[in-house]
Chains A and B, each alone.
Chain A
């Protein structure tokens, strides 16, 4: 397995969907190849960075409208 193929299999491996001989040869390459290890680390850092971006804020208006909808619904229940 060459580096270019490795780069296309990274997500499959991170998702746990590589198996058997393919997984074994992927792991062998990764353990021995510094640039592929660096690439993997970059990918993992990218994912971890995305996870840490601040969430979108709810506006006061959005909140007010959602609660108004709930109250209308509740009134209709009575």
Chain B
């Protein structure tokens, strides 16, 4: 509720054309909008165009902002719609229910070969010695994450981007992507599992060399 009150106040200032407030809004939301656009539009330059168009659309639509969702989920929805429209126009086929599809739904979180037939671990995971702070600075890790994100189904990538890269809550993500709570959880589960598996591989290779 506090978010909404704050939103209502600064949307009013935005409507009055307050550039100082717009500067803050722009700096705060531009990075996530870019990441979100990249989910649907692979080319960085086209993603940037999509985000620029999003800002224009946001400004045009300010009078229509009713505060039923938070401002940040509202602009994220505008960005997602524009990115999908652009992707479709450029010939990338985006199923109508792209965010609801269950691509990779049958895939286990951990490959079956890691378990014995009893369901116990055959090849045990080990505790990583590296902290997240260290991992986030490693070039191999950044490249592997970037590549894996690029290979995830769009819905998984969108959820992981907002939840984990941006730190949004489940509720905010459901709202921005218009997916159900349980679907959000399934998509997050698959996306995180893939990323974990890739990081495990990177760290194992690092240990051997």
Q: Do A and B come from one complex?
A: yes
Q: Convert A10-29 into 0s and 1s, putting 1 for each residue whose CB lies closer than 8 angstroms to a CB of B.
A: 11100101000000000000
> Are the CB atoms of B145 and A17 closer together than 8 Å?
no
Minimum CB–CB distance from A60 to chain B (whole Å) comes to 11
Across-interface contacts of B145 in A (CB, < 8 A): 49-50, 53
> Are the CB atoms of A42 and B128 closer together than 8 Å?
yes
Identify the closest chain B residue to A41 (Cβ).
Answer: B127
CA–CA, A45 to B40, complex, Å? 27
Count chain B CB atoms within 10 A of each CB in A8, A42, A49 and give the residue with the most: A49
CA–CA, A2 to B115, complex, Å? 10
Across-interface contacts of A53 in B (CB, < 8 A): 136, 142, 145, 165
- The answer, among B17, B130, B195, B200, for a CB contact under 8 Å with A50, is B195
Interface of A is mostly: helix
> Are the CB atoms of A62 and B52 closer together than 8 Å?
yes
> Are the CB atoms of A2 and B188 closer together than 8 Å?
no
Q: How many A-B residue pairs have CB under 8 A?
A: 146
Identify the closest chain A residue to B189 (Cβ).
Answer: A11
Q: Which residues 162-209 of B sit at the A interface, judged by CB distance below 8 A?
A: 164-165, 167, 170, 185, 188-189, 192-193, 195-196, 199-200
> Are the CB atoms of B133 and A52 closer together than 8 Å?
yes
Q: Is B6 an interface residue (CB 8 A)?
A: no
Across-interface contacts of B185 in A (CB, < 8 A): 11-12, 15, 17
Total chain B interface residues with beta-carbon distance under 8 A: 57
> Are the CB atoms of B52 and A46 closer together than 8 Å?
no
> Are the CB atoms of B17 and A42 closer together than 8 Å?
no
Q: Which residues 32-74 of A sit at the B interface, judged by CB distance below 8 A?
A: 34-39, 41-43, 45-53, 55-59, 61-63, 65-67, 69-71, 73-74
Across-interface contacts of B35 in A (CB, < 8 A): 55-56
CA–CA, A70 to B30, complex, Å? 15
B: residues with CB less than 8 A from A are 16-17, 19, 22, 26-27, 30-32, 34-35, 38, 48, 51-52, 55-56, 59-60, 62, 108-110, 112, 115, 118-121, 124-128, 130-133, 135-136, 141-142, 145, 160, 164-165, 167, 170, 185, 188-189, 192-193, 195-196, 199-200
